[in-house]
Structure 1
């Protein structure tokens, strides 16, 4: 089965004992960046899922999404099975999908500067650093970091740069043929 850390076992066990399998609140010693990292890995592995919180029912919030709305964390069927709990009859244990190096696990939220950056880089003509700076308001070193880090590593996109004669360096997102 799945190899779990002590923290993951603690989160899953506590969540499995609550109504609706709600995994929050997290253990008191787990907060800040450590909590975010632990939860992110558990969501990535399919042990937890982020669902809309029912504030009227008093469900605790994991994070606020704005406008009086938020999300909470729920232990998935796979998470229950990972700690030895057999899910209710008629429910299927949904194993997390196998990770594919060519698939993007995350997508930029619409209306953000990152989404704007992706749109500019996806254009057939690409974009120069000057265009990207004007559109986002970011400095060149921030843009280069975003292209290699957020777009390259997190979103799995390939950003290419070419120097065309008579023009500045052109940046584009190269789509992999599927």
Structure 2
């Protein structure tokens, strides 16, 4: 009976479906939404930096439905219906990496992309991009993250420039678009915690 109560208390893990203008039009189960014809839906990406300026890259677990085993930015995910994007960033950072973020800041509010992985599975997202700082060592969930690496900002931009095929397509576009706004820790550390739209 206790197990049944716990199951009913967990929010449905749905994503927010969007029309072509980015307005919400419905919901779908996250577990089934990514196919060869994935509808447009709401997501987010977040880059994490530490006080010495290093940027966290993570390698997606092999169990991930899209881009398994691929290196990418620190945290990606989907807000649930009725959940703010900032709350979703904080939830995913805690769940996937065991960290609390500080100075969360929206840097690419209008980022949107569509990409197809080697299996034919499509990502099709309106994906605002955030940057934040952390001051603790990540403790990754192995079902989400199989490896991680702290990199200098110039190493990240160099990786995207010379080997874009080695990282997620959304990270490639984000770094090319956002540049210093994503990879400069001083821009994050100067913003009080919780200030984000």
TM over 0.5: no
Higher strand share: 2
* Greater helix content: 1
Q: TM-score, normalised by structure 1?
A: 0.28
With normalisation by structure 2, the TM-score equals 0.26
* RCO comparison, higher one (Cα < 8 Å, 6+): 2
